């Protein structure tokens, strides 16, 4: 019943929290984020201030992921095994690595490799999180692309070839425009996944939403209220993404029907 209108779910959650806040003030201490008090307002601004970094990390990581994912997916569609194998190796390897260890490896380990190669490429928490999220997610994006492209009938490729299109042109003008419409929903899922997983950036010191919540909990000792707000912040982000994707789908869908 909530699937069709996530807004309902949102209202329900918000309502429940407010209600429980009113009914047992011993459990809840909303003062910590009460916008009508100066401290509460400062705290709220501090917490919501992480929104920008969370969004930026997620957007850049998602953009990289759908690019890397496509580049990884294409060899996986070859009919030659020695090309296809590169896709399999990448996908199987990357998706076997848990996000947190990969984040540590990229943030603490990769700079050592760079230094040993004589390269001075510092990796700050911002880019460390983006690289990790993008690579980790790209294995899944690659599989989504592969399935989407494979779902386009072989006859489309054949028809493109008989009007003289080369491989890249066939992909660009015939296959991908059709495949994108089909893979938009699973790609959107992956984007939501990235937004949520960006919380891990907090452990390498990125001051995004989760890090700020943690820092405030340490000083205010009000984990219940602060983490509740944190969850709501992610909920709002995800609902906005969902709405955007539905809008995109409608636009593309009408295109297909003509």
* Closest residue by Cα to residue 53 from 211, 229, 216, 203: 211
Interface with other proteins in residues 118-177 (CB under 8 A): 153, 155-156, 158-167, 169, 173-174, 177
Nearer to other proteins, 36 or 257 (CB): 257
Candidate list 6, 13, 56, 181; residue touching other proteins; CB under 8 A: 181
Nearer to other proteins, 115 or 250 (CB): 250
* Closest residue by Cα to residue 202 from 214, 220, 193, 192: 214
Residues in binding contact with other proteins, number by CB under 8 A: 23
* Closest residue by Cα to residue 90 from 147, 150, 135: 135
Distance CA(113)–CA(115), nearest Å, equals 5
Nearer to other proteins, 178 or 189 (CB): 178
* 255 binds other proteins, rule: CB under 8 A: yes
Nearer to other proteins, 100 or 159 (CB): 159
Distance CA(146)–CA(177), nearest Å, equals 14
Which secondary-structure segment (H or E) carries 58? helix 51-73
CB of 146 to other proteins, least distance (A): 20
Q: DSSP strand E in the chain: where?
A: none
Rule CB under 8 A: which residues touch other proteins?
153, 155-156, 158-167, 169, 173-174, 177-178, 181, 255-258
């Amino acid at each position: 019943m909530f699937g069709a209108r996530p807004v309902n779910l949102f209202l329900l959650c918000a309502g429940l929290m407010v209600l429980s806040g009113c009914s047992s003030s011993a459990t809840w201490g909303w003062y910590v984020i009460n916008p009508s008090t100066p401290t509460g307002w400062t705290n709220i601004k501090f917490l919501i201030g992480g929104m920008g970094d969370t969004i930026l990390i997620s957007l850049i990581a998602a953009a990289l992921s759908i690019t890397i994912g496509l580049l990884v997916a294409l060899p996986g569609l070859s009919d030659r095994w020695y090309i296809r194998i590169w896709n399999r190796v990448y996908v199987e390897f990357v998706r076997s690595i848990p996000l947190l260890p990969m984040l540590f490896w990229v943030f603490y380990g990769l700079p050592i490799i760079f230094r040993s190669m004589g390269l001075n490429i510092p990796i700050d928490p911002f880019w460390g999180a983006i690289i990790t999220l993008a690579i980790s997610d790209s294995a899944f994006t690659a599989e989504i692309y592969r399935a989407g492209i494979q779902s386009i009938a072989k006859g489309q490729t054949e028809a493109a070839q008989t009007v003289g299109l080369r491989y890249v042109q066939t992909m660009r003008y015939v296959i991908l425009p059709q495949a994108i419409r089909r893979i938009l929903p699973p790609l959107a899922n992956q984007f939501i996944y990235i937004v949520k997983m960006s919380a891990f950036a907090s452990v390498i010191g990125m001051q995004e939403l989760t890090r700020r919540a943690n820092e405030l909990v340490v000083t205010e000792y009000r984990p219940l209220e602060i983490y509740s707000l944190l969850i709501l912040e992610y909920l709002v982000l995800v609902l906005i993404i969902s709405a955007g994707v539905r809008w995109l789908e409608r636009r593309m869908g009408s295109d297909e029907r003509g």
